[in-house]
Amino acid sequence: MRLLIGAMLISFSIGQSLSIAQAQQPSNNQVAAMVEALRLAAPQTGKKDDGLYSEWQVQPGTVKAWSKSCLKKEITPTQFENSPAIARQIISCITSRELNKQYQVTKNNEIAAVNSVACWWMTGTYTGCNRGFTGTYVQKVVSFYKQQRSKPSPTQSAQ
């Protein structure tokens, strides 16, 4: 009996590992499309000194935390603002991390993952962005994402 239970536990454990391993990771093109969609959908306040930084409109505390996580060093919001390449690198790092998480949760449903990440980007939670300002924002991100994904990738256009 113990042998049978042990075999069942090992079988279950292997099955769980395989199902986790089967979760797709977003491609570089999907991450790039999400990064660009977030940039295009960023709310424009119309104020020069609105307290948000870069084309992605990121809060100062977020810049510090994300730079520390992605670059292994903290940068200032001004550095983030003044270097589009560094800003894009950090946004790509965070977007990749969040898309990876959401691909797991949504069982590889690309648009559901994009929807969840857009909601998280605006609110800090993955759900509840179905109406109002956040609902409109999420739909904008999804629309821009689909537009970006429909463009040929640089490797496709070079062929």
SS (H, E, C) 19-38: HHHCCCCCCHHHHHHHHHHH
Q: How many residues are recorded in the chain?
A: 159
- The single-letter DSSP state of residue 153 is P
pLDDT band of residue 41 (cuts 50, 70, 90) is very high
Cα distance between residue 60 and residue 88, in whole Å: 16
- Copy the structure tokens of residue 56: 């992605």
Average confidence score pLDDT of the chain: 84
For every residue of 52-85, DSSP letters joined together read: -BTTTTB-HHHHHHHHHHHHSS---HHHHHH-HH
Q: Give Cα separations from 105 to 20, 76, 101, 121, 157 (angstroms).
A: 10, 33, 6, 16, 32
User: For residue 96, which of 74, 73, 84, 113 has the smallest C-alpha distance?
Assistant: 113
15-33 average pLDDT score? 71
Answer yes or no: is pLDDT of 149 > 70: yes
- Copy the structure tokens of residue 98: 């969040």
Q: Are 142 and 115 in contact (CB under 8 A)?
A: yes
32-55 average pLDDT score? 86
Answer yes or no: is pLDDT of 102 > 70: yes
For the chain, the structural domain boundaries read: 23-151
Query: So what's the pLDDT on residue 4?
Result: 40
Query: So what's the pLDDT on residue 48?
Result: 74
Query: So what's the pLDDT on residue 44?
Result: 82
pLDDT band of residue 13 (cuts 50, 70, 90) is very low
